[in-house]
Amino acid sequence: MKSPQSARMIAIGASLVLGALAGAGPANADVPTAAGALQASAQKGIADGYPAVIGMVRSGDTTQYVAAGTGDRATNAPADPKAQFRIGSNTKAFTATVVLQLEAQGKLSLDDTVGTWLPGAVDANGYDGNKITIRELLNQTSGLPDYDTSSTFYNSYASNNEPNRVWAPQTLVDLALAQHRPTAAPGQQFSYANTNFVLAGMVIKAATGNDPAIEIQNRIIGPLGLRNTSFPTSDPTLHGNYLHGYEYQWLGLALREVTVSNVQAFGSAGAMVSTLDDLAAFDRALIGGKLLPPAQEAELKTTVPVGNGTTTRYGLGIGQYQLPCGQWVWTHTGAVLGYISTWEISDDDTKQALVANNEYHLQGNTQGQTDIQKGVNNAFCAL
């Protein structure tokens, strides 16, 4: 079992969230060239050990898909770029959107404190919810630790022996607060934690009376017609057309299926299921200003630095970085047992590159992750 320091899951910190890895590509080329770059990286991903890699690129009204490998090792069925997969931390953009919509409706303010909406929820080990704002939850500057480093949580989730275990949001928050005392004041620095978005989901429920899954369904999934997107709250299985998920065990010598996994483990921080097409449609609507009024769109895109660099930043549930070819993209990565997916989109929403694969064993910076991220960057740079 890995030590708590190495047990980073959904996003493996900012490095996997934003994934700004090296890899340049030709500028001002066409969609077929971009698709070729993404297909080449998909083939590398299969050589690196991924069972399947799927992706899509889009420029204007032109979209092309790529696929390599198998989406189901039991049947050896070819990977389908239309298949569903678990999107992990890409859920965060959906959660942030609902919070921003609630602000636009005057039901809350990003400058409200967590304690205002969730009295006592963050009140242990030196943490004080009355000093943390909702904005600081969404831009990951709250200073709260993550619960995924807790051995209680990690041992359960990593083993995947308890897919139906109940993880109440407050239980996850309590596990996080117990990890260590504060190392930075709220608003002082970026520190990625799923805890922030679990709390954001709790704020949504406090403000509306509904679970965040219901609000996301009613405000985003339904209106956008995302027919293959869902927010499971208890059912750990997938349904319909989906990629089967896998993880390597025993130092990479064996693959086991982990398609069925606990969805309450991440909730509003990472439980959702979608497809490349649906995720791309959501990203276009969000970045293109179709889901938020101008004031909230501006808040969404107001970023804080990630680390000391100037080319990687974080907004409200979305990231921003500068590709090696010089272009800036909005982006995020999601990783849960068996699945990793990444999207990139231009600020004018006219260009997109997305990719997903069906193997993740709670380790970051693998060769497969590096090769796939380079491919996404190359593909976008070719658009």
Domains for the chain: give ranges and CATH numbers. Answer: 4-382 (3.40.710.10)
- Rounded distance, CA 339 to CA 335, Å? 6
Catalytic annotation, residues: 89
Question: According to the model, what pLDDT value does residue 308 have?
Answer: 79
Give dist(CA 160, CA 141) in Å, integer: 30
* Cα–Cα dist 207/198, whole Å: 14
Three-point CA angle 100, 317, 147, nearest 5°: 115
- Lookup: tokens for 378: 């190359």
Calpha distance 355→48 (Å, rounded): 16
Nearest to 348 by CA among 329, 331, 332, 333: 329
d(CA 74, CA 238): 16
Please say whether the beta carbons of 358 and 336 come within 8 A.
no
pLDDT in tens, the chain (383 residues): 233 223 333 333 333 445 433 333 334 448 999 999 999 999 999 999 999 999 999 999 999 999 999 999 999 999 999 999 999 999 999 999 999 999 999 999 999 999 999 999 999 999 999 999 999 999 999 999 999 999 999 999 999 999 999 999 999 999 999 999 999 999 999 999 999 999 999 999 999 999 999 999 999 999 999 999 999 999 999 999 999 999 998 665 789 999 999 999 999 999 999 999 999 999 999 999 999 999 999 999 999 999 877 899 999 999 999 999 999 999 999 999 999 999 999 999 999 999 999 999 999 999 999 999 999 999 999 99
Q: Cα separation of 321 and 312, whole Å?
A: 4
Inter-residue contact 345 to 319 (CB < 8 Å): no
Tokens 């590709």, residue located: 323
Considering the entire predicted model, what is its pTM?
Answer: 0.94
